Amino acid sequence: MAGIMNEDGLEGSLREAAARCGNARKKKVHVGAAIMPDYLNQHYDPYSAVLNREFNSVVIEHHMKWKPLLVGGDEGVYDFRPCDKIVDWAIDKGMEVKGHTLCWHVTTPDFAEDMSASRLREALYRHIRTTMGHFYGRVGSWDVVNEALSQDCSGRMEDNVFLRKLGPGYVDDCFRVAHQIDPNAKLIYNDNKAEGAGLSGGRSRKADAMYDMLKGMKERGVPVHGAGLQGHFTAAGTGMRRTPTPHSVQRQVRRLGELGLSVNISEMDVRVAGLPDGVDGETAQAAIYGDILEACLTEEAFDGLTLWGFTDLHSWVHSFYEPDSPLPWDKEFQPKKPVVGAMRDALLRTRASSPVLATPEHLWGKDWMVPEPTNDGAGAGGHTDGGGGEGDAVDAPNWNARNDH
């Protein structure tokens, strides 16, 4: 690869680097992106060119969820055409497709609230059978359940229609049904704010809860094969919103791997709005994207990273938080060279040790990270910048803006 520059002036693509990394590790390493059918239509040439060159897997960001699949919100009337377009395109380009997601309370049809427990259970299982059956043989892995743990990072389960009507066993049941439909599919539990283990100030409560939940599922014989750590980070975050250290993410990947699970970073983006003057956003993004990927790759259980989008032209962040530049390619489909370069370099290291993990954990990011507020007694472990105490939503997006997460 040395000396061979691609059209963006970077030495090799992420896809090429992932292939080299996979060869060295003797297992495939995924570098993926979430994509939208409308953008594949409206900006086909630049959008598809970057996707085809840089990524070896894709996930459909919105249209494969339960409510978006239904025609007019009617139970049992599905329109798979937007998803089929992406799945067929990706397969033609030699990419793998992950299904996202079969059970998520945020994109559950409105009629679920009016159903009895038995009717809801029947409707949920029918949806899983219908969706997986339609893509059988084309989609080999699935985020079966998404975000069953509470957004307040307390460690409790999310108070949603499935928990209220079906009880906590609905998570196990979804995996069992999915496995019956496609015994060869990789079945994944996916969640956010659970990326870092061993952090102070309660910042790892949800990571601990996710580990405990998956450990229990494995002990009960539930067919769960993978864990997705979403990776929606904010470079300017403090308190509970602070980006977890690469060291802490590696610890979470390791202990999940010890349960026999594969682990992926499943929805990564890095918000930079709010960084102080003089701090370069791309420098912060390069450290977060590159260092976390590098740390994860030291663990055998880690099988890849998916970006939640890839170009700043489209990101869920713009609607749910505020306009930002969270992704490695800008609005003109040009790479942010420090960011893409850091990811590529992490893939090419392909060794069991990591320079970033040799750095003292408390010093990581000191050149760009926002200091913790110290007023009112809140220190590095305090619940600052938007809460984070038990019962409070932690950096919760506005789900009423648009359900395309």
Look up residue 271 and give its DSSP letter. E
92 vs 82: CA distance, rounded Å = 16
Structure tokens at 321: 């938080």
Contact 288, 243 (CB under 8 A): yes
Looking at 147, 195, 282, 294, which residue is catalytic?
Answer: 147
CA dihedral 376, 380, 381, 387 (to 10 degrees): 60
Looking at 54, 96, 195, 267, which residue is catalytic?
Answer: 267
Contact 187, 142 (CB under 8 A): yes
180 vs 378: CA distance, rounded Å = 50
197 vs 202: CA distance, rounded Å = 10
- Residue with structure tokens 């030495």? 11
- First-to-last C-alpha distance (Å) of the chain: 36
The reply to whether 267 belongs to the active site is yes
Task: Write the CA distances from 336 to 8, 157, 312, 343, 391, integer angstroms.
Answer: 10, 38, 11, 11, 38
CA dihedral sign, ordered 282, 21, 231, 193: negative
119 vs 263: CA distance, rounded Å = 34
CA dihedral sign, ordered 151, 208, 211, 300: positive
- So which residues are the catalytic ones? 147, 267
